[in-house]
Every structure is written in C-alpha cells, then in structure tokens.
Chains A and B, each alone.
Chain A
Amino acid sequence: MEPILEMKHIRKTFSSTVALGDVSLEVWPGEVRGLIGENGSGKSTISSIAAGMQKADSGEMVFQGKPWNPKSMIDALQHGVGMIVQESGTISGVTVAENIFLAELGQFKKLGIIDRRAMNKKADEALRAIGVNDVHGSTPLAALDFQTRKLVEIAKVVMKQPRILVVDETTTALSQNGRDILYDIIKRFRKEGKAVLFISHDLEEIMEVCDTLTVLRDGARIRDFRKEEFDPDAIRTSMIGRELQGDYYRGDFTPSRLDEVALRAEHLRSGDALKDVSIDFHRGEIVGIGGLSHCGMHTLGKILFGAEHPEAGSVTTADGTKITNETAAMKHGIGYVAKDRDVESLALNTSIRDNIAIAGMERYAIGNFLVTGLKERPYVDAQIKSLSVKCSDRDQLVSQLSGGNKQRVVFGKWIGRGSEILILDCPTRGVDIGVKKAMYELMDQLKREGKAIIMISEELPELMGMADRLIIMKDGVIMKEFARSRELSDAEIIKYMI
C-alpha cells in the first residue's frame, strides 16, 4: 500500500527560529493520525504546509503518487487536502452560504447574477451532510456563535470531499455536540479509506480518536505510537522530554473550604443565558462550573466580575458591596481570567511588563498616581519569576510568547495584585500539559492560601480533578451540584449537561 501523502525532509524557519528541522511524515489510507506536542513543537506548521497555508523552505511532498505543491489552501482543498484551522477561518460580514462557497461563487451565477436560492440550498445540504440541522445558508455568519461558525467551516471543507482532512485544535472551540459531529466525520473518513491528521492538546481526546500518534518536539519528530502502544505517561514524557507524574490534578479527594463567603450571586438573570442563578463562593474553595458551551457559565463569569449587567439579581462581596462594574470588582479583590485570552485578557502588541502592571498599579503607584519603574519593575519581575514565564525579559511583547506563557502572564496580572477571588474562565484552554500542570498546582496553592477560586471550564476532567464543588449548568439553570469525590464519574455528570 502507498501512503496518500508523503512529506520528506521538510524544513521551515521563521527568521532565526527553526519551526521544523527536517521532518518526514507519511499519512496512510484509512488512517487517523494524531499530531501532538507542546506549543511551538511544529505540529501546526507541518500540517499547514501539507494544506497549502504556507510553504516549506526545503523538502518535498508527494500526494497520491504525484509531487504536491499547493499554491494556497483553496488550491489544496480543490485537489484533495482540506484543513480546518485553529483560528477562525470564516468571514463574519457575509452569510453562511457565501462563506461555504467563497472561492466558487461563479458556479451559482446566472446571467452574471448569483442565484442565492440555489447557493443557500447547496449550503444547507452541506450542513445537513455533517449533521448540522439548525443552521441555514442564508443566515449571516455574524449571527452565529464561535462553535457554530466552526461547524460551518467544517461543512465547507468536508463538502469538497478531500482525501485528507486536517483538523487543527478544532475541538477546543466545540461543545460535546459539536465534537460528536466532528468525530462522526473522522470515523467516516477512516471507513472510506481516506485519512485524517488530527492535532490536539487534549491527550485523552487524541488517544480516543486516533489510530497512530506522532509526537513532535522543538520542530523534530520524536516518536510514533501505534494505538496499542498508547500510554499517557509515555506520550507526555516524549512530548516534554522529561518525566511527568501521571496525575497532575489535585491529589486529595476531600472537599474543603473556609466558612467565610467571599462572593455571593443571588437570583441572577440574563436573557436566555442565566435564569435565576444563585451561588455562594467560599474562601479556600475551588468551585468548578461546567456545562456545554452555551449553558450560561461564561455569562455568569462576566457578571460575577461586573463586566456584564444582569437583568435581575445581584453579586455581593463579603462586606455587602454590590459588584456592578469591573472597577468595583477589582477594588474588592476580584480577578478575572477571560476565556478569549488574546482579546479579553491581554494586549498582544504590548510588553509583558505592561500587561502585568496594568491591573496592579495601586500596589506600587506612589500616592496612587505616580508610576515609576523603580517600584514597577520589581513588581513585574516577581510575577514573571513566580509564574516561571519563559521570556527574554519583561519588555518582550506578549504576542511573541507561546499560548502557555501568555496564560502565565494573565495569571501574573491577577495574582500579582493580590486577588482574593479569582474567576477563571477556561484557564487551560489551548495550553500544553506542562503549563496545565503548573496552573493546577497554582490553583491548589491559591486555594490553600484561602482564596476563592471560580473555575469555569468546558473540560470535565479538569473540573472533576480540581473542584471542591462542581456545579453543572444547562440552559441558564443550575442542574446539579456535586461535591468533590473520588467516585464522581463522567457519565453521571454528563447526564446533567445534555
């Protein structure tokens, strides 16, 4: 049997950084191959080269027995390699159908006018084909949420029936339902003798989905695992190049908290997102809030921080102060790590120093007005050191950091100012396991210091692994509250989510 795609001695550099140094990779018919590695390992780079998104500096590719040099992603898709990208690959100003048929609007032209009805119909068919039934071709893309946009993008790629489907970190943007759709597609590809290149940070997921796994580290292919060789510890070790303890969540299984209530949410209502939600958050407690992407938990996080105003209900601190805006929240020691890190938590083209310093000025400003490097620099350096942010120095731009290091900066920003209540919305989204482990340890430590941690996450394992109390939401309502326990099972919890 011949491989569908053969990549030989691929090399790619960005300025002086070597993203890929002589990596070879084969993809076989009927194979679902996982690519795994830490941020910057080269997994996205090699898959994007295969899919025509960028060109290699050297090396050669053979696709279905012929030399493979796609000019662009569209060219690649038309000839059999489709990719669903990590970032949003859709355009928000136009309709779903226009997004799907962006490069080939011509086929719907009649006398120079685009037949929208035919185009919308075809778009609907493409969406139905992957199992999306509630989105229509005529809907403006802007009206859809992030997850549904991803599904539109998936439909767009799958419709072209590529021989190889590249899925780059797509599942982090998807709820369980969306993931199921994608998993079905992957199974279909395997059955039809096509192939899938699957990139994910999520080890459990990748082990579940893939037949073979290639581990990349620092732009080099480290090791392949066949399904029967899959072993989380071995994979992690080869990913980070050192031994890592099997369980990186909290070691204990006893729920604990201090008596003092740090933050109290009462009867919160906000459209369809929240319908009469009341929760007390205690000091020294990690409260996990889980559910599907649209269950209302992200809105809850914003309201707790004062960034959104509820239609009814209130958020009060221990001293009875109502939290109505971000400034009040920060004044009362609340910190908020937002879900959309690059937009909501960081100013990317700004230094690490500015990003950390901005929230903690009252900690070092003289007379609450004057800001000098004399006090600011040690403040920032302390955060960089305590959170082990990997950077050349404090003046490096945040945009130059890897996802995990960016998240460390965000944590530094909030922890540095001595936040007593931390609202963490998807705190480990898009970070590699090394950073994840560090984040979990940090959360555990903060809990022990008596801080109140509110952890909102779409990843059940981490909620189960970290929370003292796990609150499951669905359609804006609290469905169930679980206490920390060794006996908690996914199946039991998922029942309340769906």
Chain B
Amino acid sequence: MAQTKLTKKNRLRELLVTLLPIAALLILFGVLCMVVSSRGYRLDMYLRIIFNEGVVLAVVATGAIFIYSLGSFDISLGASTLFSATIGVLVYNSTQSLPLMILTIFGVAVGCSLLSSVLASVFHIPVFVTTVAMMSVLSAVAAQIITTKGGALGGIGIPAAVVEPLDNLPFKLAVLAVFAVLCVFVFNFTKIGRRLKFLGSNPVCAKLSGIKVNVYAIIAFVMAGLGVGLGAFLTLVYTPSVTPTTAGSIGMNILVAIVFGGMPISGGSRSRIYAAIVGGFSYILLNNILKIVIDSGAGYGISQIVSAVFFLAVVYVTSMNYRTKLLPR
C-alpha cells in the first residue's frame, strides 16, 4: 500500500520532470515576446531569427541524442558539421550540382561519424579520445582547405542564389519535422532505438541480453551523422559560405541543449528525442532574452554567466529525481 503511494508520487514527479523542460520553453517564449515587444522591436523578425539560430542546433542535437542515449558523447559534431559543409562547398563549386552537394554532405558527415565509432568500438579506444582527436583533425583539415582556397576572403562559399530559395521558414520547419519524426520513430518504435536506450541504461546487462554493443554504438553514431549532415546543409542554406569558425560552438551547445531538454547526460531509458528540440530552442531563447535584457555595455560575459547558472540549475533539477530515489531496503 505504502509502496503504491510512493510509486504514484514518483510517477507524478517523473511527469513533472518530463513537463518542466516544455514548461520552461513556453515560459522563455513568453518572456521573449514580452521583452521584444516592450522594447518596440519587431517580434516577427525576432522569432524568425531565433528559429534560424536554433534550427541547426536542434537538428544536430536531435541526431546526437542517439549517441547521448548510450551515455556516451561526441564532442566532434561541430567539427564534422564544418568539415561536411566544407567538402559540400568544394563539390558544388566543381560540379555546380546541388543534389550532388547534398549527397556529399551526408556522405561525409556519416563517414566521419562511422570513423569515430569504429575507432571507438572496434579498437576499444574511449569515445572521448576518438572524438577529441576527430574534432582536432576535422577542424584542422577544414581550416586548411578553407584558408587555402579562400585566401584573403577567409572563407569559401557557394553562390547565395543556389540555396536562397530554401532559406525560408516552411522549408526548414519541414526538414526539422521530418527528421524529428524519423528519429522519434527509430528511437521509440524500432528494435534499434529500444536497444540503444537499454544499452545506455546498463551496458553490461545489455550485452548479456544479446545486444551487440559495438553494432549499436555504430548505429547511434550513424544516426548522429545524419543529423550532422542535415545541420551542415542547413548551415549552408542560411549562410552559403564556410569559415574555419563555422559551427564552432555547436559541439558544446548540443550538450547544453540536451540538458536543457531535460535528458540526463548519462543517457539510458530517460533519453528523449524531443529533449534536443525543446532544449535547443530553450537555450537559444534564453540567450536572446539575456542579450536584450543585459546591456552589452554592462560587461561582456554576464549573459554567459547567467546561462551557466541556469544550466547548473537544470542539471540539479534533472538529477534530483535520481538522488531522491534512495529507498528503504
């Protein structure tokens, strides 16, 4: 009886923790609307900008959920985004073919992910090491290509007209929706997703339940690669050029987004695809609110400090659920 009561309470708590990130997103959205309107800024433009800022992060983070659900992480995703976009630009410039460019971007992104995962799983190198190495290698190679080819311009690009027709809200929204639906489907309704989550919850038990750990790690990285490819493509749609710093902050922002989305960094069964989207946009909203509210003359970095505090608060709340589970024996 007592057990049932406790469980009900746990369930309620679980539900609250699930709903909190969405509530936070809505609150942040509301606050942004208020702040923007009260300053006399154009809300419609602001919302479009924020969507553009958030969509690449949301897409890449959505793919990255597959890796994070394993309790693993990939710090090289930003560098992969840059690298795939760079190769995509080169291919377009030599073939003038948009489809070929898109195909190349996906090919390269998935290839990079595959390489990371194969190195990690087949040769038993810790994921941290392989992705750090991949990050350095990919950004160095991309920077080399960009500065060699770009020279004094500091960047390389494709003609803006090629992707301009795609630089609009409906297209990007559709891309995000299709990818999110695909990921939700794979994550929740296929053996792959279910096994990935279980693997994240307890790798030892997963292995003893017949789950091939290496195979699933590779699958997770491939899914993340698809997100990176899509992210690289959307980056080019927004700004049809790449510089050595393009997508530089994505790697860390993914981590922040996923945490803001209410998913534990340890992965496992509480992994949720929507965490990437909710968290990604929450983070972007928060940043924008802070940038408007805190006068940049007040000192650089204050808004970063505030978001860091927010981040820690979220980590505290999401981990609270675990810490209070100390049950009587």
A contacts, CB < 8 Å to B: 12, 14-19, 39-40, 42, 44-45, 86, 305, 307, 326-327, 329-330, 336, 338, 343-351, 354, 357-359, 361, 365, 368-372, 390-392, 395-397, 399-400, 413
Contact = CB atoms under 8 A, between A and B. Distances in A.
Given A17-B3, A44-B329, A358-B194, A392 B204 contact: no
Nearest to B3: A17
10 contacts: A17-B3, A39-B329, A326-B210, A343-B205, A347-B268, A354-B197, A358-B198, A365-B191, A368-B191, A371-B194
Interface in B199-214: 201-202, 204-212
Nearest to A390: B3
A346 B9 CA distance: 23
Given A349-B269, A350-B202, A399 B212 contact: no
A45 B7 contact: no
B2 interface: yes
B9 A15 contact: yes
Contacts of A369: 190-191
B329 A326 contact: no
A413 B10 CA distance: 24
Contact of B269 (A14, A18, A351): A351
Contact of B208 (A307, A370, A399, A400): A307
A350 B269 contact: yes
Nearest to A329: B210
B198 A346 contact: no
Given A17-B327, A330-B209, A349-B201, 17 more contacts: A15-B6, A16-B6, A343-B202, A344-B205, A347-B269, A348-B202, A349-B268, A350-B268, A351-B269, A358-B206, A361-B194, A370-B190, A371-B194, A390-B3, A396-B7, A400-B325, A400-B327
B322 A349 contact: yes
Given A18-B2, A350-B268, A327 B201 contact: no
Given A349-B322, A350-B268, A392-B4, A344 B204 contact: yes
Contact of A392 (B7, B190, B191, B206): B7
Secondary structure of the B contact surface, majority rule? helix
A437 B221 CA distance: 46
Interface of B: 2-11, 189-191, 194-195, 197-198, 201-202, 204-212, 268-270, 322, 324-329
A390 B4 CA distance: 10
Q: Which residue, A336, A351, A361, has most C-beta atoms of chain B within 10 A?
A: A361
A343 B204 contact: yes
Contact of A358 (B5, B6, B7, B195): B195
A307 B8 contact: no
A359 B7 contact: no
A350 B201 contact: yes
Given A17-B3, A343-B204, A343-B205, A357 B194 contact: yes
A392 B212 contact: no
A397 B325 CA distance: 10
Given A344-B204, A370-B190, A16 B5 contact: yes
A330 B206 contact: no
B209 A45 contact: no
A359 B195 CA distance: 9
Contact of A327 (B194, B212, B270): B212
A16 B9 contact: yes
B9 A371 contact: no
Contact of B329 (A16, A45, A361, A395): A45
